C-alpha cells in the first residue's frame, strides 16, 4: 500500500462517520503514577472509537534531567508534548500524501520550543509559564511537487488535533481527591 | 483515474476511493458495500433452500456449464487495476493470488453471507483457522475476553494456551449466567465469545441477551454457531457481530472436508481478512467446490437431521437405561422456551447420559451398528463419541463435572438416516448392555 496507508479503508471510515457521527468520536486517557522525585510512570487507559472499546496496553516513564532535579531516566513532559505535536502532524502529512497519490520516500518532523523557567518558578511574575512559540520543520522526499508538499504542510497542520489543541487553546478542568 | 469495468478482474462494483481533485480524507467517496462478490443479486427474500442452491453460484459463461467451475489456480494475471488495488488497499475486491481470494472462495462466501443475511463472509482451511484469525483481528495487546466456560476443547486450548503468550487474558463464565457474564467484563475487555449451543450438553445461549450486554459494555460479540447453522438460527440477526463456523460440520455436511467460515458486517470481516492472509489459513479452490456442493443441500439436510434427532431423542428419553437426554426441542430441555422462540430448526445434536458411567457408554458404542464411532458432527451419517475422551479430553474430570458432563455422557450427531432405523439400532444396542 502506498505509504502503508489504506486510502480505501480511510474512505470507508470517512463514509461511516458521515452516516453515523457517533463513529467519529474518539475518547482517550492516560494515568500517571508518581514513582519518586520527578519521575512518573504513565499507562494508557482503554480508549473508545465510536461505540467500541479498545485495549491500550502501553506504558512509559517520564523524568526530568538532573539539572532540573530529576535522574534523567526518561524524556521529560515537554519532550512528550513536542513529540505528540510532531507525530500528529506527521500522521496528517502521510495520510494527506496518500490521498494525493504521493509516494513518500523519507519524512522527518522536528519540533522545538523554548521555555523560560523563571515563569514556572515564579521568579519573574510577568514571564509566561508556557512555551511562547513552537517551531516545527518537515523534511520530506517523495514524488510530489513543491506546491503539493506545501499544500500538505498546511493541511497537516490545520487538521492536526494536537497542533490545533495548542494553537486554539483548550479548557483544562480538574478534580482533587484527597485520600 | 478509473478504468472501465472490462479490465476489472474481481468485484465490478468495488472501485478506487480516489478521484481527481481529492485533497483530504473528507473528499474520499468510497463507501463500504456487501461482498466482495461476482454477483450482486439480492437473496434476502428467498427461502433458505433457494439461497443455498443459487446464491453466489456462477454458471460458466464460456461453455454454458451449470455450476461454479473449479478455478484450480494459485495465481491470477495481473494488470494495472490489480496493482492499484494493492496500492490503495482494496485488494480484497480483486483476484490477485488465491490466498487473497479466488472465484470459488467468493462463490461460497456469497452463498454463506446470503444464508446468514450478512454483508460479508470468509472461508478458511479449518474452523480453528477461522477462530484464530477472528479473535486476533478483533483484539489488541492487553485485551481481555469473556468466554463460555463450556467451550469446544480446541477453542479452549487456543484461549488457555496461546492467548496468554500474546498478552491476552480470558475469563470463563457460565454461558447462561448473564449477570456473571456482565460482571466479568473489565475495562480492557474487548470481546465476548460464546457458542450458540454448547458442546456436549446443548445449552442454548440467548444471543439477543448477550448482544444487549455487548452493546451496553461496548465490546464485540462473537458467536460460534457450528451446532446451529443459519437454517436453525441467524446469529447476526440475533445481534452477534461475527458468527464463526467449523464448516467441516453442518455447513458442508458430508464429513469429507475440513473448512471454517465467518459471517458478519463488511467492516469486521474486512478486519479479519488481513489475518487470514497473515496466518495463512486459506481454503483451496477444490475444497471450496466440495463445500459449495455440500452447502446447496443445507436446508433439506437440516430438516432430515431434525426429524431423526427429535424421534430418537424422544425414544431415548423413555428408555430405562437412559438417565437424561438433552435436545432443545424436547419439552424437558431447560432451554425449551428459548428454543421455541429462536430456533427454526433444532438441529441434529443429542446428548444423553447412560446408567453405568463411561464403561457402559463405551460398551454401548461397541454395539451400535449405524452411528460411526468418530469425533466430529453434522455429517449425513450419524456419529457418536464420548466427550471425556474426545472433544473434552483437554479438561480435567473435575472441570467436566463442573460443566455437568457426568460419567456416561454420550454425544450423538444424528445424521439423515431414517429415524425408525436409528431407533431400532439403539434399541438392540441398549438391550445388549
* Sequence spans of domains, chain A: 1-75, 76-168
Within 8 A of B89 by CB-CB distance, chain A residues are: 1, 5-9
* B17/A1 touch (CB, cutoff 8 Å), yes or no: no
Are A1-75 and A76-168 equal in CATH topology? yes
* pLDDT of A31 above 90: yes
- Give the closest-approach CA distance of B366 to chain A in angstroms: 51
pLDDT at B395: 77
Within 8 A of B220 by CB-CB distance, chain A residues are: 52
| CA nearest to B267 within chain A | A12
Q: Which cell numbers hold the place of B155?
A: 477453542
* pLDDT of B1 above 70: no
* Sequence spans of domains, chain B: 44-295, 304-431
pLDDT at B19: 87
Edge-first strand order for the sheet with A52-54 is A26-27, A47-49, A52-54
CATH number corresponding to A76-168: 3.30.300.20
Mean pLDDT score, B315-342:
97
As a whole number of angstroms, the distance between CA B95 and CA B36 comes to: 10
**Looking at this predicted complex, what is its ipTM?**
0.85
pLDDT at B6: 61
* A57/B188 touch (CB, cutoff 8 Å), yes or no: yes
Are B44-295 and B304-431 equal in CATH topology? no
DSSP string covering A45-73: PPEEETTEEE----EEEE---GGGTS---
* pLDDT of A169 above 90: no
| CA nearest to B188 within chain A | A55
* pLDDT of A53 above 50: yes
pLDDT at B389: 84
pLDDT digits (tens, 9 = 90+) for B390-403: 877 777 888 888 88
Contact of B143 with chain A, judged by CB distance below 8 Å, is answered with yes
Element containing residue A120 per DSSP (H, E): helix A117-120
Q: Which cell numbers hold the place of A146?
A: 513543491
Architecture of domain B44-295: 3-Layer(aba) Sandwich (3.40)
- Between chain A and chain B, the number of residue pairs with CB atoms below 8 A apart is 100
Within 8 A of A51 by CB-CB distance, chain B residues are: 215, 218
- Give the closest-approach CA distance of B124 to chain A in angstroms: 23
Architecture of domain B304-431: Alpha-Beta Complex (3.90)
> A172, A19, A10: which is closest to A96 by C-alpha?
A10
Neighbours of B355 (CB within 10 A): 13
As a whole number of angstroms, the distance between CA A57 and CA A9 comes to: 24
Fold of A1-75: GMP Synthetase; Chain A, domain 3 (3.30.300)
> B95, B1, B267, B278: which is closest to A6 by C-alpha?
B267
Name A32's bridge partners: A42
pLDDT digits (tens, 9 = 90+) for B282-292: 999 999 999 99
pLDDT digits (tens, 9 = 90+) for B180-194: 999 999 999 999 999
pLDDT digits (tens, 9 = 90+) for A124-151: 989 999 999 999 999 999 999 999 999 9
Within 8 A of A158 by CB-CB distance, chain B residues are: none
Cis peptide before B11 (omega within 30 of 0): no
As a whole number of angstroms, the distance between CA B416 and CA B378 comes to: 10
**Lowest-confidence segment of A144-153, B130-139, B403-412 by average pLDDT:** B403-412
pLDDT at B321: 97
| Residue B5 binned pLDDT confidence (cut-offs 50, 70, 90) | low
Mean pLDDT score, A86-94:
97
Amino acid at each position: 500500500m502506498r505509504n502503508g496507508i489504506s486510502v480505501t479503508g480511510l474512505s470507508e471510515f470517512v463514509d461511516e462517520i458521515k452516516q453515523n457521527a457517533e463513529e467519529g468520536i474518539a475518547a482517550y486517557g492516560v494515568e500517571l503514577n508518581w514513582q519518586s522525585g520527578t519521575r512518573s510512570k504513565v499507562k494508557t487507559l482503554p480508549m473508545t472509537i465510536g461505540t467500541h472499546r479498545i485495549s491500550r496496553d502501553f506504558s512509559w516513564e517520564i523524568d526530568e534531567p538532573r539539572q532540573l532535579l530529576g535522574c534523567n531516566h526518561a524524556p521529560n513532559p515537554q519532550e512528550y508534548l513536542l513529540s505528540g505535536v510532531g507525530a500528529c502532524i506527521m500522521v496528517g502529512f502521510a495520510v494527506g500524501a496518500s490521498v494525493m497519490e504521493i509516494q513518500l520516500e523519507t519524512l522527518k518532523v522536528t519540533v522545538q520550543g523554548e521555555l523560560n523557567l523563571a515563569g514556572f518558578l515564579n521568579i519573574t511574575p510577568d514571564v509566561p509559564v508556557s512555551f511562547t512559540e513552537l517551531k516545527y520543520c518537515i523534511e520530506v522526499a517523495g514524488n510530489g511537487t513543491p506546491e503539493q508538499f506545501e499544500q500538505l504542510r498546511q493541511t497537516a497542520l490545520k487538521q492536526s488535533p494536537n497542533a490545533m489543541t495548542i494553537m486554539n487553546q483548550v479548557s483544562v478542568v480538574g478534580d482533587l481527591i484527597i485520600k | 483515474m478509473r478504468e472501465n469495468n472490462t479490465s476489472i478482474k474481481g468485484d465490478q462494483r468495488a472501485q478506487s476511493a480516489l478521484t481527481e481533485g481529492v485533497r483530504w480524507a473528507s473528499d474520499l467517496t468510497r463507501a463500504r458495500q456487501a461482498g466482495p462478490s461476482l454477483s450482486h443479486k439480492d437473496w434476502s427474500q428467498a427461502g433458505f433452500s433457494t439461497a443455498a442452491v443459487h446464491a453466489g453460484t456462477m454458471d460458466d459463461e464460456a461453455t454454458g456449464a451449470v455450476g461454479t467451475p473449479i478455478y484450480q489456480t494459485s495465481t491470477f494475471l495481473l494488470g494495472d487495476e490489480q496493482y492499484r488495488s494493492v496500492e490503495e488497499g482494496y485488494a480484497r475486491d480483486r483476484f490477485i493470488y488465491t490466498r487473497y481470494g479466488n472465484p470459488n472462495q467468493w462463490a461460497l462466501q456469497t452463498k454463506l453471507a446470503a444464508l446468514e443475511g450478512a454483508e460479508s463472509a470468509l472461508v478458511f482451511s479449518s474452523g480453528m483457522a477461522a477462530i484464530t484469525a477472528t479473535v486476533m483481528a478483533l483484539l489488541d495487546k492487553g485485551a481481555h475476553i469473556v468466554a463460555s466456560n463450556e467451550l469446544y476443547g480446541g477453542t479452549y486450548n487456543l484461549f488457555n494456551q496461546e492467548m496468554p503468550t500474546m498478552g491476552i487474558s480470558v475469563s470463563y463464565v457460565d454461558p447462561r449466567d448473564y449477570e456473571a457474564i456482565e460482571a466479568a467484563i473489565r475495562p480492557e475487555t474487548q470481546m465476548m465469545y460464546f457458542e450458540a449451543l454448547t458442546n456436549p450438553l446443548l445449552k442454548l445461549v440467548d444471543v439477543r441477551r448477550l448482544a444487549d450486554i455487548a452493546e451496553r459494555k461496548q465490546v464485540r460479540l462473537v458467536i460460534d454457531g457450528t451446532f446451529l447453522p443459519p437454517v436453525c438460527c441467524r446469529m447476526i440477526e440475533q445481534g452477534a457481530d461475527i458468527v464463526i463456523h467449523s464448516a467441516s460440520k453442518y455447513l458442508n455436511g458430508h464429513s469429507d472436508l475440513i473448512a471454517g467460515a465467518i459471517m458478519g458486517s463488511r467492516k469486521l470481516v474486512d478486519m479479519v481478512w488481513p489475518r487470514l492472509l497473515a496466518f495463512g489459513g486459506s481454503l483451496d479452490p477444490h475444497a471450496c467446490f466440495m463445500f459449495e456442493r455440500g452447502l446447496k443441500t443445507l436446508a433439506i439436510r437440516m430438516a432430515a437431521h431434525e426429524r431423526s434427532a427429535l424421534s430418537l431423542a424422544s425414544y431415548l428419553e423413555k428408555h430405562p437405561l437412559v438417565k437424561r437426554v438433552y435436545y432443545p426441542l424436547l419439552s424437558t430441555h431447560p432451554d425449551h422456551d428459548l428454543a421455541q422462540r429462536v430456533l427454526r430448526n433444532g438441529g441434529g445434536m443429542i446428548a444423553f447420559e447412560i446408567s453405568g458411567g463411561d464403561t457402559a457408554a463405551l460398551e454401548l458404542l461397541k454395539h451400535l451398528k449405524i452411528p460411526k464411532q468418530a469425533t466430529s458432527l453434522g455429517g449425513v451419517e450419524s456419529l457418536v463419541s464420548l466427550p471425556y475422551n474426545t472433544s473434552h479430553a483437554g479438561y480435567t474430570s473435575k472441570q467436566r463435572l463442573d460443566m455437568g458432563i457426568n460419567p456416561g455422557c454420550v454425544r450423538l450427531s444424528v445424521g439423515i438416516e431414517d429415524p425408525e432405523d436409528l431407533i431400532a439400532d439403539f434399541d438392540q444396542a441398549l438391550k445388549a448392555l
